[in-house]
Amino acid sequence: MESYAQGETTPPLLEETIGANFERTVAAYPDREALVEVASGRRWTWAELDRDVDAVAVGLVRAGVGKGDRVGIWAPNCAEWTLVQYATAKLGAILVNINPAYRTHELAYVLNQSGTRVLISAPSFKTSDYPAMVEEVVAETPVEQVVYLGSPEWDSLRASDGALSDVLTWSLSPDDPINIQYTSGTTGFPKGATLSHRNILNNGYFTTELIGFTAEDRLCIPVPFYHCFGMVMGNLGCTSHGATMVIPGPGFDPEITLQAIAAERCTAVYGVPTMFIAMQNHPSFGDHDLSSLRTGIMAGSICPIEVMKRCVNDMHMAEVSIAYGMTETSPVSCQTRVDDDLERRTATIGRAHPHVEIKVVDPVTGETVERGQPGEFCTRGYSVMLGYWQDDEKTAEAIDADGWMHTGDLAEMREDGYCNIVGRIKDMVIRGGENIYPREIEEFLYSHPDIEDVQVIGVPDEKYGEELCAWVKLRAGAAPLDAAAVREYATGKLAHYKIPRYVLVVEEFPMTVTGKIRKVQMREESAKTLGL
């Protein structure tokens, strides 16, 4: 039997914009709780959230933002992130998600590549001084206006009065681009996956439909909004069902998340495996009443069986689901179902999502392989992105003439149609749920005056699954270099999770006969040398 499968075709796809869908929910549940920001104690009903979203949208239109204009958001999880997400969707502007961990090098690239006109930024987060970084790069970008959350400019934007319908002079379609999300690029720079209302509204809707969401549900969202996990599977999953969005904190903290679940009586929680491990192993785990939980989603990497058992037995998540996907597919392509057994929920990434086709092909010939054979995972359907922003060449490399998105992941489809990921075609490293492409870090390290050549690989790590290790060849006469020096050089220029933990100074790299670097051998040697 061939490695091809198709998801359910009911219920039908939502053929509407995010704004229209949101307003349907507001009309159905005006007085129910829509959004809770635990850290500040702020709460919104659907009617109140709609009022505030419209005020931000009106403010943006008055600031000169129109349909198709790019609005960047650079902030950790907060209620304002959600307001901006729906305000831009309602007016048809394209939201550009900027990773809060980015530094000047990455920020400047994203603002320029996307043509961002208005940047909405947090004043600070953890060790990040956002205004200082913005000031350093903004003159070299198309940004015309920077609005800091909590500033007088933000307050006046958010207090705009007047009806949104009075200032919108254009119409919107479900196929309009509405979001650009940057994925690390194998060729050095991130690529902007461009997603439509249709892409992300439906993916959020079906992801939560498969875990039985209704207006009774309350979802704890400790995963980042700048990822599809937070803004699509989280926010859009909730708003399309009338469920309550609960923001436990600006970044993930295991105890704060557990407190939020208990205090807000959440029925669901999202996370990557490392987050669930951190919660389950926290000293105060047993002190929190998690009996309100019913379901949730784990994604980002394969779930260890013990972690899944504890989700079901100790966290009351009998209907927990595993999801797999990528930003370019809005994101979910495969998901386990709530009644799947433990084996399917721990040994697989699930089966084809509703309205989505999947297949596994021979990476060389492109032919669909037999079930049980490894090959490249491909997917087709409403969820495939519009393309990479202003990059037709990269888009054509990823999406073939028949509309199949080639993921670069090596997968196997079992006889029962469930799939598992067995490797990666291009040596991507997954560190704690973050996809890292070594090439981007290599390109950056080439700028170090003492480094002649560099190769970056993933090595095993108990906490994060993988950590980065850089093999470095030094220029003749260069001073000795160690991991601390490399980290110091990269700090402030690269996101913290892209900075190599280990650095090995070598004379040469292992090569194949044809002169290709043998990263597999490098991984083995590194693990041995570092005692991993």
Nearest to 386 by CA among 408, 403, 366: 403
In the predicted model, is pLDDT for residue 189 greater than 80? no
> pTM for the complete prediction?
0.84
% of the chain beyond a pLDDT of 90: 77
The verdict on whether omega for the bond into residue 222 sits within 30 degrees of 0, i.e. cis, is no
Beta strands in 199-318 (DSSP E): 218-220, 244-247, 268-271, 295-298
% of the chain beyond a pLDDT of 70: 97
The pLDDT tens digits for 239-259 are: 999 999 999 999 999 999 999
User: Higher pLDDT residue, 197 or 189?
Assistant: 197
Predicted confidence band of residue 273 (pLDDT cuts 50, 70, 90): confident
Instruction: Mean pLDDT check: name the lowest of 83-97, 120-134, 317-331.
Output: 120-134
Predicted confidence band of residue 277 (pLDDT cuts 50, 70, 90): confident
Confidence at residue 348, expressed as pLDDT on a 0 to 100 scale: 92
In the predicted model, is pLDDT for residue 187 greater than 50? no
The pLDDT tens digits for 355-364 are: 999 999 988 7
Mean pLDDT of the chain: 93
Confidence at residue 515, expressed as pLDDT on a 0 to 100 scale: 54
Q: Select the highest-mean-pLDDT range: 69-73, 183-187, 449-453.
A: 69-73
Quick check: 467 and 528 in contact, CB under 8 A? no
| DSSP code for 244 | E
Confidence at residue 270, expressed as pLDDT on a 0 to 100 scale: 97
Confidence at residue 438, expressed as pLDDT on a 0 to 100 scale: 79
Confidence at residue 432, expressed as pLDDT on a 0 to 100 scale: 87
Hey, which residues does 411 pair with through a beta bridge?
A: 375, 421
Nearest to 28 by CA among 215, 212, 267, 211: 215
- List the structure tokens of 206: 């079906």
Confidence at residue 316, expressed as pLDDT on a 0 to 100 scale: 98
Quick check: 310 and 280 in contact, CB under 8 A? yes
In the predicted model, is pLDDT for residue 125 greater than 90? no
Confidence at residue 473, expressed as pLDDT on a 0 to 100 scale: 86
In the predicted model, is pLDDT for residue 186 greater than 50? no
φ, ψ for residue 309, nearest 5 deg: -60, -40
The pLDDT tens digits for 289-314 are: 999 999 999 987 667 788 899 999 99
Nearest to 23 by CA among 301, 246, 239, 289: 239
Identify the structural domains of the chain with CATH numbers, from first to last: 431-530 (3.30.300.30)
- List the structure tokens of 288: 């929190």
Nearest to 414 by CA among 356, 515, 488, 334: 334
In the predicted model, is pLDDT for residue 483 greater than 70? yes
Confidence at residue 424, expressed as pLDDT on a 0 to 100 scale: 67
Confidence at residue 242, expressed as pLDDT on a 0 to 100 scale: 98
In the predicted model, is pLDDT for residue 122 greater than 60? yes
What's the rounded mean pLDDT across residues 388-406?
Answer: 96
Confidence at residue 476, expressed as pLDDT on a 0 to 100 scale: 82
What's the rounded mean pLDDT across residues 141-154?
Answer: 97
Instruction: Mean pLDDT check: name the lowest of 54-58, 82-86, 420-424.
Output: 420-424
Question: DSSP string covering 348-402, please?
Answer: --BEEPTTEEEEEE-TTT-PBPBTTSEEEEEEEETTS-SEETT-HHHHHHHB-TT
Confidence at residue 351, expressed as pLDDT on a 0 to 100 scale: 98
The pLDDT tens digits for 13-41 are: 999 999 999 999 999 999 999 999 999 99
CA of 453: how far to CAs of 109, 448, 509, in Å?
A: 23, 10, 9
The pLDDT tens digits for 436-464 are: 777 778 878 888 988 878 889 999 998 99
Quick check: 144 and 118 in contact, CB under 8 A? yes
In the predicted model, is pLDDT for residue 111 greater than 70? yes
